[in-house]
Chain A
Amino acid sequence: MKRIYAIEELCLNCRLCEVYCKTAHSQSKDIIKANKYEDPAPVSRVTVYGDNFLSAALNCRHCDDPRCVKACITGAMTKDKKTGIVYVNEEKCIGCMTCLAVCPYGCIKVGKPAVKCDLCRNEDEPACVKNCPNHALIYTDLGGEDE
């Protein structure tokens, strides 16, 4: 499946990926409203770790055999059979955060429903990839099995 890969040598630590992720997962989809006025405030699914010298944007690996899906007690966490995208079924999620506890990459954030990257599944290209100014995020299919 197509996944997002971060190239840390190119990452600027600008964190615009976070801004655009938040916007894409907001109600208004307006960058200023989403990042300034919306309540509840949208949360970025991608997180940039590091400083100006070394940084990288981390988001869900959409594992082939996802522990979050296995651990989910309500069956809210789902891996789409066709696309391979791991996403939260918002109606079913009770916010117990079992998934957060088991994700080996720390890619789930607290929330009800749980907050995680859905690869912007209704768009052609994830918002973070589209808006990264230095092409430090690439969206591609490198094949391969378990992440």
Chain B
Amino acid sequence: MSVNYIPRRFTVIRDKERCINCGCCVRQCSNECHLFADDGKTVISDSNSCVACHRCVDLCPTGALRIEKYVCDYRENANWTPQYQQEICRQAETGGVLLSGMGTPKPYPIYWDKILLNASQVTNPSIDPLREPMEIRTILGRKPEKLTVEKKGKSTVDMPPQVILETPIMFSAMSFGSISLNAQKSLAMAAKELGTLFNVGEGGLHPDLQPFTDRAIVQVASGRFGVHSDYLNNSRFVEIKIGQGAKPGIGGHLPGEKVSVEVSNARMIPEGSDAISPAPHHDIYSIEDLRQLIWAIKQATGNSKPVSVKIAAVHNVAAIVSGCARAGADIVAIDGFRGGTGAAPTRIRDNVGIPIELALASADQRLRDEGIRSRISLVAAGSFRCSADIVKAIALGADACYCASAPLIAMGCHMCQTCNTGKCNWGIATQRPELTKRLNPDIMYKRVVNLITAWNHEIKEIMGGMGINSVDSLRGNRLMLRGIGLSEKELEILGIRHAGE
């Protein structure tokens, strides 16, 4: 037996008084943490590979299960924390790069929690959203510099293509391959019902999503998977993926085992071959190159759709966004460093990039200073946990927000952060047929619709409290924000005043 240098992380606690030995947990845990004892009847646990996904807990009919953190103390050391020691041991064993799923769990500042919202009192009365119309319809796309109208009042300006959303919330890119088709389908169905868009990610378009193409954002990423003229045209808009918040500067690697027949068809690559997205687009080394690709996509789609560019929030983000706007992008999506991922090198995920709050504020300010804010719509991404985060993002200058983790949680994800293992017990981040069928799109799309409907109500309520009746009046309205416990510099970058000022 080899020595295991890393203690297990969780313990499965089974209340023997409640357990009826039905074996549901045995059959549901893909990490094989429950098993029948030799008598074939009594259910026992092997906690070693438990990831705390709570599938067994939530399905146990008698509430007999509980997952507990396994505490095994190390001698205290603020520098050599147990986590670093364990990661070293893992690498000593495997010699490999550490991989993780989902957004960084590190306790970096979350500025949403340090920003407070305003409300009306006495002057400028608040509005009751249940009695008065409250507009959250959001329109994305390049806006003309100015409007000219002929005598009868008809506009004489050539309007660039616009996208109408019934909520400022869209579903961010998650490819078929990184998530299951059932998960994508649920998002597509929800987007259709909500009047918003879902993003198919860089993995091509599965034929089953054909009925939802008017609600689909399709990506052109460095791997160019599944890109052809029909793919570009079967969409509401096209997004060039330059970077991802969870792994700026890094490409992607979908291992061959995950490239099933279906994945290979959608991606247009041979079955079983590794799907490698290079770190850069090999045809984009400058803003001019980006301009060419944007132009090519616009040509391929008959100038009928906006083209978006998605970048990761990095140090120089404001200048890059400005460059994208000048390169002809109609929409720029900025993905903050807390954004999720199906798999990323842990060190990159936890150390590279900057928070979306700061990136968004500085990009919006830069575009305004340069007088080109109306040339693009800004979409913020990278971890919105609730409707208040969305309201704050819009007030910081976002036109719309991309959400992914929240709808996944609505579909069962418990943030166990092991998406990269492909064993997702909730049928989300997996391609195994026995697991993907656990996600029934007919049930899950409704849960996602419920979530976003609830957020829509809350956004209206918060806006009403501020005396604002339209999301357009909230956009970039930083006077509605105040910082709490922030330094002068942070306030300056966010472009907001401190509470009490």
Beta-carbon contacts of A1-43 to B below 8 Å, as 1s and 0s? Answer: 0000000011111111011100000000001100110000000
Query: Is B27 among interface residues, defined by CB-CB distance under 8 A?
Result: yes
Select the residue from B17, B433, B434 with max chain A CB neighbours within 10 A: B434
Q: A12-B28, A14-B27, A32-B18 are in contact. Are A134 and B62 (CB under 8 A)?
A: no
Which B436-458 residues have a C-beta within 8 angstroms of A? 437-438, 440, 442-443
Query: Is A122 among interface residues, defined by CB-CB distance under 8 A?
Result: no
Query: Is A133 among interface residues, defined by CB-CB distance under 8 A?
Result: yes
Query: Is B22 among interface residues, defined by CB-CB distance under 8 A?
Result: yes
B328 CB, min distance to chain A CBs, angstroms:
45
B322 CB, min distance to chain A CBs, angstroms:
49
Q: Is the CB of B61 within 8 A of A31?
A: yes
Chain B residues within 8 Å of A133, by CB: 59
Chain B residues within 8 Å of A14, by CB: 24, 27-28, 59
Query: Is B194 among interface residues, defined by CB-CB distance under 8 A?
Result: no
Give bound CA distance, A20 to B24, whole Å.
12
Q: A15-B27, A52-B27, A53-B433 are in contact. Are A135 and B61 (CB under 8 A)?
A: no
Q: Is the CB of A134 within 8 A of B18?
A: no
Which residue of B17, B18, B440 contacts A135 across the interface (Cβ within 8 Å)?
B440
Q: Is the CB of B20 within 8 A of A15?
A: no
Query: Is B278 among interface residues, defined by CB-CB distance under 8 A?
Result: no
Closest to A33 in B: B20
Closest to A35 in B: B20
Q: A12-B437, A19-B22, A135-B440 are in contact. Are A32 and B62 (CB under 8 A)?
A: yes
A119 CB, min distance to chain B CBs, angstroms:
21
Q: What range describes how many residues of B lie at the interface?
A: 10 to 19
B56 CB, min distance to chain A CBs, angstroms:
10
Q: Is the CB of A16 within 8 A of B59?
A: yes
Closest to B64 in A: A32
Chain B residues within 8 Å of A10, by CB: 437, 440
Select the residue from B24, B28, B61 with max chain A CB neighbours within 10 A: B61
Give bound CA distance, A32 to B61, whole Å.
9
Give bound CA distance, A47 to B17, whole Å.
25
Query: Is B82 among interface residues, defined by CB-CB distance under 8 A?
Result: no
Beta-carbon contacts of B1-38 to A below 8 Å, as 1s and 0s? Answer: 00000000000000001101011100110000000000
Chain A residues within 8 Å of B62, by CB: 31-32, 35
Q: A52-B27, A53-B434 are in contact. Are A19 and B20 (CB under 8 A)?
A: yes
Which residue of A18, A53, A135 contacts B442 across the interface (Cβ within 8 Å)?
A135
Q: A14-B27, A14-B28, A134-B443 are in contact. Are A19 and B437 (CB under 8 A)?
A: no
A13 CB, min distance to chain B CBs, angstroms:
5
Q: Is the CB of B438 within 8 A of A16?
A: no
Beta-carbon contacts of A95-127 to B below 8 Å, as 1s and 0s? Answer: 000000000000000000000000000000000
Chain B residues within 8 Å of A18, by CB: 22
Give bound CA distance, A10 to B441, whole Å.
10
Q: Which of B's residues lie within 8 Å of A, judged by CB? A: 17-18, 20, 22-24, 27-28, 59, 61-62, 433-434, 437-438, 440, 442-443
**Minimum-distance CB pairs A-B, first 8:** A35-B20, A52-B434, A14-B24, A53-B434, A134-B440, A19-B22, A19-B61, A36-B20
14 residue pairs from A and B, CB less than 8 Å apart: A9-B437, A12-B437, A14-B24, A14-B27, A15-B22, A16-B59, A19-B22, A32-B20, A32-B62, A35-B20, A35-B22, A35-B62, A36-B20, A53-B433
